[in-house]
Amino acid sequence: MSVEASTQQTQQVKSHNPLLLNIDVSKKVRGGFDESLVEELPSTTRARFERHGVDLSKGYPEKPPSDQIPLYVDDAFKIRDKPQEYIPRGKFADRSKKALFSKAKEFKHLTKYIGTEIVGVQLSDLNEQELDELALLIAERVVVFFKDQDLSPQKQLELGAFFGNVEIHPQFQHVPGLPGTSVIWDAHFKKNGFKKTFKTAKTGTSNWHADLTHELQPPSVTHLHLDAIPSIGGDTNWSSGYAAYDKLSPAFQKFLEGKVVTQKSMHGYLDRNDPLGGPKHVIREQPIIRTNPITGWKSLFVSNGASNLDIQVRFNWHSDTGSNLGTSALWDNRIGQHNATWDYEDEDRHGTRVSSLAEIPYFDPNSKSQRESLGL
């Protein structure tokens, strides 16, 4: 019986006493379109979609069909429980990145070791050689920014497929007709009960985290394109896992190497054998210290952590030219945590995110730290 068919019925669960409990779980797997939010789209978002032929006639955003949304945790675990082939983009790229840099009007390192902005380049114009060099730059600098981007969600998805295997979330909303373009939108979160206030701002994405760390093959390059940006605020912070590792004492580095940590999914599911036991999550063990296959550098691979200011970069998404075009951030999720600053109260913020799944995380005991490799 399909998930959709099963949820049309009432789950009947026997407790330890003769009482029969009736549990309606149909709302847990509601999929498809949410027509009520089309008219609430920010003007810049709608303009982007209209320029690039996104069909909004059925509603916005779109969720996976109900019969494809897993209700039980064992079904969610099976979605990606077998290794996929992965091409490590950037590993064999030109270390000088001449092709990429020659195309740019300017490139700016925002701090000494994390964060670079490339000016005067449209992501949609980059060829494979330039994208390969960009993958290397992201792996070295953790996060790279591009402002004033006329980028279609279709092209964003294409770029994601170049960097790795595009993650298609079993529950999360996406741009209509484009699974893998996850919608990051405050108005939609509010509609689903996740309304932030000044006092509760440090929740959800406003905590330090890395994305999808519970996956068998978590993301490498993650690409967030914001097409609606608050007039003031809405910055995002990134921190470097390379530098976090280098901050540890030699003894603690040695202690952590080879050890694992339990990572769990953000979304919860039901236990098939204990549906009253509360939400269950997809859980996997991951190395605490992992090696980045592109740079060969060691990184602290944890989520929901904190970091020193000197290993962070804070980025403001606003255009420097006053255009209504969007801004893109591409970061290496293997080595970078991020934290979205919620300081814009009732203004809206909308973006699309594409995550490119990479290798199964590993630790190479012969790998070096960033500072060791750079002779620092």
Place of tokens 């279609």: 152
More confident residue, 218 or 308: 218
The total domain count for the chain is 2
Q: Does 40 have pLDDT greater than 70?
A: yes
Helical (H) or strand (E) element with 153: helix 153-163
Please check whether residues 133 and 221 belong to one and the same domain. Answer: yes
Does residue 25 sit in the same domain as residue 116? no
Same domain? 168 vs 297: yes
pTM: 0.90
Q: Give the per-residue pLDDT at 353.
A: 98
- Name, in order, each residue with C-beta under 8 angstroms of 275's C-beta and a sequence gap of 6 or more: 11, 13, 23, 25
pLDDT band at 243 (very low <50, low <70, confident <90, very high): very high
Angstrom distance (rounded) from CA 105 to CA 110: 16
| Range from 142-156, 294-308, 311-325 carrying the lowest mean pLDDT | 294-308
Do 251 and 342 reside in the same domain of the chain?
yes
Tell me the percentage of the chain whose pLDDT exceeds 90. 76
Residue 142: name the closest of 242, 266, 16 by CA: 242
Q: What is the mean pLDDT of residues 137-155?
A: 98
| Rg, the chain, Cα only | 21
d(CA 269, CA 258): 30
Whole-angstrom distance, CA of residue 181 vs CA of residue 43: 19
**Helix or strand (DSSP H, E) at 128:** helix 128-141
Q: Is 120 left (phi over 0), alpha (psi -120 to 50) or beta?
A: left
Mean pLDDT across the chain: 90
Domain membership of residue 6 as a residue range = 1-29
Judge if 218 and 347 occupy the same domain: yes
Per residue in 181-240, pLDDT (tens digit) is: 999 998 888 777 667 777 766 655 668 899 999 999 999 999 999 999 999 999 999 999
pLDDT for the residue numbered 16? 43
Return the half-sphere exposure (C-beta side, CA atoms, 13 A cut-off) of residue 266.
15
178/52 Cα distance (integer angstroms): 12
Residues 127 and 152 reside in one and the same domain: yes
Confidence label for 108 from pLDDT (cuts 50, 70 and 90): very high
Rounded Cα distance, 51 and 190, in Å: 27
Cα angle 194, 198, 202 (rounded to 5 degrees) comes to 65
353, 271: one domain = yes
Q: Out of 5-14, 32-41, 82-91, 313-322, which region has the weakest mean confidence (pLDDT)?
A: 5-14
- Can you give the CATH number for the domain in which 124 is found? 3.60.130.10
pLDDT grade for 29, boundaries at 50, 70 and 90: low
Alpha carbons 376 and 373: distance in angstroms, whole number: 8
Q: Say yes or no: 2 and 36 in one domain.
A: no
Q: Residue 359: what pLDDT?
A: 98
